Amino acid sequence: MATEFHNLQELRQSPSLATKVFIQRDYSEGTVCRFQIKFPSELGSRIERTLFEDTVKTLNTYYAEAEKVGGQSYMEGCLACATAYFIFLCMETRYEKVLKKISGYIQEQNEKIYAPRGLLLTDPVERGMRVVSFLSNTLIYCHGRSSYQKLAI
């Protein structure tokens, strides 16, 4: 795994501590899981607005897909009811499948876009689906497949 080093002098001179920026939920369409696309001022010039909006919009699309009430969810619901919900022991629900996709997407976004800019996006499922949070100015160890991969930001 490649190790990247960035200039830490910059970090040393910056008096700001690590900040967390939270993107809250957008309830304008009810209780479906959506996050606000409004660009937070705390991120400032760390990331381009379009990239940020793209990420949040894609996340919103994924969540909408997970929570879509349509043919497949009805089938799943009826089948589950007919089997006295034992089907949930054997089968992964569609929601869980989409959450895995989201997790992969967030990881990919972090690797490609956010980590080079000194930010880290956390998966909302780890925060009770309340917020998407961005961490900045952090030193992170990632447990890779075979060795440690260090990203210094």
Partner 1 sequence: MNNCEYQQIEPLSLPTPRPAAVEEEEEKARRKWEVFPGKNRFYCDGRFILAQQSGVLPLTLGLILVTTVLFFVFDCPFLVKHLTVFIPAIGGVLFVFAVISLLQTSFTDPGILPRATPDEAAYIEKQIDNSGSSTYRHPPRTKEVVINQQVVKLKYCFTCKMFRPPRTSHCSLCDNCVERFDHHCPWVGNCVGKRNYRFFYTFIVSLSFLTAFIFGCVATHLALRAQGGRGLIFALQESPLVICFLSVWSILGLSGFHTYLVASNLTTNEDIKGSWSGKSEAEDTGNPYSYNNILTNCCSVLCGPMPPSLIDRRGFVPVEQSSQTVSMEMVLPMPAAKEIKVVVGPTPSQLPPSRALQVPSSPLPATPLSLTGRPQFSCLF
Q: Which residues bind partner 1 (CB under 8 A)?
A: 5, 7-9, 11-12, 17-18, 20, 22, 25, 27-31, 66-69, 73-74, 76-78, 80-81, 84-85, 88, 91-96, 99-100, 103, 106-107, 110-111, 115, 120-123, 125-131, 133, 135, 137-145, 151
Which has the closest alpha carbon to 152: 114, 124, 115? Answer: 115
- The tokens for 6 are 């960035």
When the beta carbons of 6 and 57 are compared against partner 1, the nearer one is: 6
| Smallest separation, CB 99 to partner 1 (Å) | 7
- The tokens for 126 are 């780890």
When the beta carbons of 48 and 126 are compared against partner 1, the nearer one is: 126
Strands 148-151 and 140-143, by their bridges, are antiparallel
When the beta carbons of 44 and 78 are compared against partner 1, the nearer one is: 78
| Smallest separation, CB 2 to partner 1 (Å) | 13
When the beta carbons of 20 and 49 are compared against partner 1, the nearer one is: 20
- The tokens for 5 are 């080093």
> 32: which DSSP letter?
S
When the beta carbons of 58 and 138 are compared against partner 1, the nearer one is: 138
What are the φ and ψ backbone dihedral angles of 141, each rounded to 5 degrees? -100, 135
| Smallest separation, CB 131 to partner 1 (Å) | 6
| Smallest separation, CB 79 to partner 1 (Å) | 10
| Smallest separation, CB 78 to partner 1 (Å) | 6
Q: CA-CA distances (angstroms) from residue 117 to 37, 112, 122?
A: 19, 9, 15
| Burial call 35-59: b when 16+ CB within 10 Å, e when fewer | bbbebeeebeebbeeeebeebbeeb
